[in-house]
Amino acid sequence: MNILETPSDRLLEAVRSLLAAKGHLTTDEIAERIRITDGGSPAQGARMVARAWTDPDYKALMLRDGTMAAEAMAIPMRGLPPLGVLEDTEAVHNLVVCTLCSCYPRAVLGYPPFWFKSAAYRARAVRDPRGLLGEWGTVLPVGQKLRVVDSTADYRWMVLPRRPAGTEGWSAEQLAAIVREGDMIGVTIPTAG
């Protein structure tokens, strides 16, 4: 036994070999799932946002069916909960939270940031969302409604932020580079930089 192994490593190995021994999953399938999970990152979501900003048909698809829109960008979504996309407009700004735990669209945003899982974020996103946004330096225009949306085990949400002023004529690659993780959760708003 490797001395660096923890009890959870041993538990994981036992569960893996039992699943394989009982024929529920092959070790290749487990490896494939790990590869897909590790391939998720905010850069994937940023590519979707940038394309939605430059391609109206893609934006319509993204708002109708986030899972299909992700797959259209070669992001593997098989076996994952459906992805919903919330469009920010002049009238509404969206903020995503999982009040219960840390449900997050990992295929398109990667692993959730540490604060997303914190009790403080989960509670304050509901109790005082404008105060919470203020701590990120995010100030919403007067009159813009703030909508807080709960991600769950059955449905994962990401935000399609508004395209910032000063990005006219930019390529999708240039646009993707300014879209941050927080912009797709709704704690921050993209800027032209």
Residue 50 contacts Fe ion per CB under 5 A: no
Tell me which stretch binds Fe ion (CB under 5 A): 2-10, 40-48, 92-100, 114-122: 92-100
**Considering only residues 98, 133, 160, 185, which one is a binding residue for Fe ion as defined by CB under 5 A?**
98
3-state secondary structure (DSSP) of residue 37:
helix
Whether 101 is catalytic is: yes
In 3D space, the residue among 28, 31, 101, 15 whose CA is nearest the CA of residue 7 turns out to be 15
Tell me which stretch binds Fe ion (CB under 5 A): 26-34, 96-104, 130-138, 163-171: 96-104
Helical pair 27-39 and 7-21, crossing angle rounded to 10 deg: 130
For residue 31, the tally of other CB atoms under 10 A from its CB is 10
**Considering only residues 101, 123, 139, 192, which one is a binding residue for Fe ion as defined by CB under 5 A?**
101
Alpha carbon distance, N-terminus to C-terminus of the chain: 51
> Residue 152 or residue 167: which is nearer to Fe ion going by CB?
152
Residue 77 contacts Fe ion per CB under 5 A: no
Whether 17 is catalytic is: no
Residue 125 contacts Fe ion per CB under 5 A: no
> Residue 18 or residue 101: which is nearer to Fe ion going by CB?
101
Tell me which stretch binds Fe ion (CB under 5 A): 27-35, 90-98, 108-116, 156-164: 90-98
Tell me which stretch binds Fe ion (CB under 5 A): 4-12, 62-70, 103-111, 121-129: 103-111
Which H or E run includes 96? strand 92-97
The nearest distance, CB 132 to Fe ion, in angstroms, is 18
Cα 190 from Cα 165, distance rounded (Å): 10
Cα 131 from Cα 12, distance rounded (Å): 41
Residue 103 contacts Fe ion per CB under 5 A: yes
Whether 103 is catalytic is: yes
3-state secondary structure (DSSP) of residue 68:
helix
- Catalytic annotation, pick one of 98, 118, 151, 171: 98
What pairs with residue 156 in β-bridges? 83
Q: What is the DSSP letter of 86?
A: E
Residues forming the site for Fe ion (CB under 5 A): 98, 100-103
For the annotated catalytic residues, the residue numbers are: 98, 101-103
